[in-house]
Amino acid sequence: MTRIGSVTPTHWYNLAADFPEPLPPALHPGTGQPLKPEDLEPLFPAALIAQEVSTERFIEIPEAVREVYAKWRPSPLIRADRLERALGTAARIFYKYEGVSPAGSHKPNTAIAQAWYNAQEGTRRLTTETGAGQWGASLALACSLFDMTCEVWQVRASYEAKPYRRYQMEVYGSTCHSSPSELTEAGRAILASDPQTTGSLGMAISEAVEVAATTEGVHYALGSVLNHVMLHQTVIGQEAVAQLQAAGVEAPDIVFGCAGGGSNLAGLTFPIIGRNLTEGTASRVVACEPTACPTITQGEYRYDYGDVAGLTPMLKMHTLGADFVPPAIHAGGLRYHGMSPMVSHAVELGLMEAVAVTQEDAFAAGITFARAEGIIPAPESTHAVAAALAHARDAADGEVILIGLSGNGVLDLPAYEAYL
């Protein structure tokens, strides 16, 4: 493997500035009318609300956030030369590796920013949900750095299968509950209806939002889907573009990113899509989702709630329905019924395409990758790896493939056991 250097961006990039058509607005869950910034004040600090509705192309990253980013950013862009040889491909394969963050994934890119903006307004406690646990661990990390705590509702299937994520949150000083729980009205109602449910991100969101909305001094933080989260993650793609150029590649031919709620995918690809729109590059962008939760490839593009209880705004997105409960697949971070409105809009405008990957193909690709490159990919990332490997086997000579490796699978090793 060959690592390529770079510098960390000073601004986040906002694709909303360059969309050929405006992003459809979020709707108030009670009135059905376009959401006003003040409607979000019970949940988010003013700066994040402003970012949520912004159409500015670049938004400056606060110095305090950049100082924390510098602990691991820029993350490495690596030439996968050993993987290329293992596949016998004529393509050049690069991967942008986010597993070097303290939490082991891309999630701190937005967790640090969200915690800092909340701390600036005096908030000392946040609530959130998490699937596989990367987001919960990342927000717990961020809160510990700014003298805050968070309360996390983790999807039951992952809570039971991935105890080390919970331990990680507790080390950082936060708490984690299995969702659905008896701690909220939403959780109790869900359990009364289906006591054996494996849970879903939609259920966990309902619980976290309920507590934030009804408790003085508490705000909510979301690890994916919303516009400001997509914004914060664009440090990934901006670095990747600069790193590829340092390697003599003006633009990748094709980019593969795993797709759950959309944050890793957007972070890697939005700066690249922005270049396609403003500079005339022609990179293909492929969202790679699980066949067990095929939001883009089989979902409808319509307004839907982000949670089961209908507490969140209604978002125009690709959705399988807010009450959809996906199978308890190992890639817990991809078990969300809806897709980011910005990612969904990009798909509808033809700026991005999508494929669905089986869990078996994903883990097979993860093992191939690990044995060639030495890094064990997170189960979520293996979906992007699988789609990229399938493409690479018949790629044109010299074609440049870029893979988003959103995190490592060190705490997910039991998930690999069945595929060894």
Four-CA torsion 56, 231, 108, 239, nearest 10 degrees: -90
Task: Give the Cβ contact number of residue 278 at 10 Å.
Answer: 11
User: How far apart, in whole angstroms, are the C-alpha atoms of residue 390 and residue 404?
Assistant: 15
pLDDT given for residue 330 in this prediction = 67
Query: For residue 151, what are the β-bridge partners?
Result: 127, 175
pLDDT tens, N- to C-terminus, the chain (420 residues): 455 556 789 999 999 999 999 999 999 998 999 999 999 998 999 999 999 999 999 999 999 999 999 999 999 999 999 999 999 999 999 999 999 999 999 999 999 999 999 999 999 999 999 988 899 999 999 999 999 999 999 999 889 888 899 999 999 999 999 999 999 999 999 999 999 998 988 899 899 999 999 999 999 999 999 999 999 999 999 999 999 999 999 999 999 999 999 999 999 999 999 999 999 999 999 999 999 999 999 999 999 998 887 878 999 999 999 888 877 656 556 778 899 999 999 999 999 999 999 999 999 999 999 999 999 999 999 999 999 999 999 999 999 999 999 999 999 898 898 888
The CATH architecture to which 2-9+59-105+228-419 belongs is 3-Layer(aba) Sandwich (3.40)
- CA torsion sign for 54, 201, 300, 384 is positive
Distance (Å) of CA 174 to CA 169, 170, 215, 332: 5, 5, 17, 20
Residue 374, CB half-sphere, CA atoms under 13 Å: how many? 7
Sequence-ordered list of residues with C-beta below 8 angstroms from that of 303, at least 6 positions apart, any chain = 27, 314, 315, 316, 317
Burial class (CB in 10 A: 0-12, 13-18, 19+), 25: middle
| DSSP-derived 3-state class of residue 76 | coil
Residue 327, CB half-sphere, CA atoms under 13 Å: how many? 9
Q: What are 408's two structure tokens?
A: 């490592």
| DSSP-derived 3-state class of residue 306 | coil
User: How far apart, in whole angstroms, are the C-alpha atoms of residue 299 and residue 176?
Assistant: 30
Element (H, E) at 17: none
Task: Give the Cβ contact number of residue 324 at 10 Å.
Answer: 18
User: How far apart, in whole angstroms, are the C-alpha atoms of residue 364 and residue 383?
Assistant: 10
User: How far apart, in whole angstroms, are the C-alpha atoms of residue 372 and residue 260?
Assistant: 26
Q: For 54-99, where are the alpha helices, taking DSSP H only?
A: 63-69, 81-87
Q: What are 267's two structure tokens?
A: 């972070």
Name which of 30, 54, 56, 32 is nearest 42 in CA terms: 30
Name which of 36, 27, 26, 41 is nearest 219 in CA terms: 41
Angle ∠(359,372,377) on CA atoms, nearest 5: 40
Q: Which residues of 336-348 are buried (b: 16+ CB within 10 A; e: fewer)?
A: bbbbbbbbbbbbe
